[in-house]
Amino acid sequence: MVDMFLDIFDGYGVKDLMDKLNRDGEAGYRGPPLNLVLADNINGDIGYMMLVAFPNRKDKTPNIGNRVLDGTRSDFDWDGLIPVRQLPQTFNPERGYIATANNRQMPDNVQTDVGATSMTTGRAVRIDEMIRTQIASGEKFTAEDMVKI
């Protein structure tokens, strides 16, 4: 896990760093949960990765992790952690920005239970609205705009 954090400071571009974290996290992520929002001035890229230790269950029934399960049966056991590449992430989204505010970050067709019960918050909706409005106005963002948002 320490190596993963050190990689963040090694000067990789966003794409290279995300690729490296996905490769290094093949056996899952073992560390504190992180919403990792990335930007570089190498290629002008942006990216987002949710890093969380999330169980890979033997039983792949959708949303099974949101239920009370019979602990006397082994078919509900974990067989490790899901790979980092299966956690929510985005690279250079079409809309041109990334906003996180404790809101749902995964698509509706997510392959795992990660965030299955999370939803978009009113706070996230308002932040998105403010960003889209400023983009539509053609004005560049300032540090004061970010504080306001």
**Res 117: pLDDT:** 64
51 located within any domain: yes
Q: Is the pLDDT of residue 103 over 90?
A: no
Lowest-pLDDT range of 24-33, 50-59, 60-69, 121-130: 60-69
d(CA 49, CA 37): 7
Q: Does residue 128 come out as left (phi exceeding 0), alpha (psi in the -120 to 50 range) or beta?
A: alpha
75 located within any domain: yes
Total number of domains in the chain: 1
134 located within any domain: no
* Nearest of 37, 29, 18, 94 to residue 56 by alpha carbon: 29
d(CA 119, CA 55): 21
Residue type, 118: S
126 located within any domain: no
pTM metric for this prediction: 0.81
- In 30-101, where does DSSP find H-type helix? none
**Res 101: pLDDT:** 82
Band of residue 110 on the pLDDT scale cut at 50, 70, 90: low
**Res 145: pLDDT:** 93
**Res 34: pLDDT:** 87
77 located within any domain: yes
Mean of pLDDT values over 99-104:
80
Band of residue 115 on the pLDDT scale cut at 50, 70, 90: low
Residue with tokens 């000067």: 11
59 located within any domain: yes
114 located within any domain: no
CA atoms within 13 A on the CB side of 48: 16
Q: What domain range is 61 assigned to?
A: 2-95
d(CA 39, CA 13): 8
Centroid of chain to Cα 18: 11
**Res 96: pLDDT:** 92
d(CA 105, CA 98): 10
104 located within any domain: no
